Structure 1
């Protein structure tokens, strides 16, 4: 293990940065934080400036995700090693295709963090740990984490009936007939939902096809049914191809 590892944390949530910083300080004292970043533009600048050994990279940041940031990094000597830190399990394979050193799920566990930092020292970009990927995906939670005005919620995508745009927010209509307002616009949210289950039907709505019961081409309407509850939504033929 190197005497000192220079690192940068990139995450759009300051709370997540603070939490990971404390974990590193308490469990990986040889890791020295050069900077922390809460947006992708700052991340690209600081990584190019400091040329860290290791970057702890969130995947969902702002108008660019963590993969976009990695592509924009301009190494002067060698590319930094990337450890993706995210609440979403579905990016695991894509992360390793991007030559990630490791992939940690939020909330990060102390033992997993220590293991990932230790792995950095002996990592080879030509050695992809497929067994670890399979183990990771196998134990990963099925819920997605969404920010709200007061914190965050964890939601299983299968329980979302449909999503409705509300300016810079989106309202989730859930299978238990509850509603949740999250701090994502519909476009950002839709990019995080399973593409084989959800369809964007208009500027204002995305639906879970699991609940789709009828499409009226003449009226450009979709009928969704959740138990005894039914809802009719208008769709745009330019967006939703029925």
Structure 2
């Protein structure tokens, strides 16, 4: 299950930008947004989200005041301040904010914020082990059911997604983020904006330069690109 997330910001562009960036993090699912603290409070009380991304400088009640109010409710969400103003950082952390994001948003900083959120224990309930289901792949005349453990990697090219398994390569209309969500209980890791890799199949990390990395996989001649933004977390996942 994803962490149910609400964005509260009086700037439409900021809300859209943050929602777009959060699409790269399937652990979080945006379920609503509000353009004021007052409307945001109504939304929080109605939806009971797990996480709130909260602007500070807004007309009427500001973000700090809303965060103070949230401490009084029965199930307060985790708060991440997202603002153009660095001056409120001390107040924010006194209110137990998970993080303090500065605009314009940086993808790597946001990734670290999500990681910090999960490390602090703000995680949705997960099943005790991997599911027993198969990954369904639609072909022209049949539906194939792949064991996720036999999938090497998945990548996006144009409007299509390709699933590369030990027994062959299959196309899918599913979005990469949807497949990432379905495979969250297996050993898949996002290594690039357009690639998911089964880290159990990783054999080598090849370093071409300070910013160019590739993965060599077992039983495959393919090399999978690794974005610099993901290299640190990938190594933490791979190494003892």
Q: Could you state the TM-score of these two structures normalised by the residue count of structure 1?
A: 0.48
| Greater RCO (Cα-Cα under 8 Å, separation 6 or more) | 2
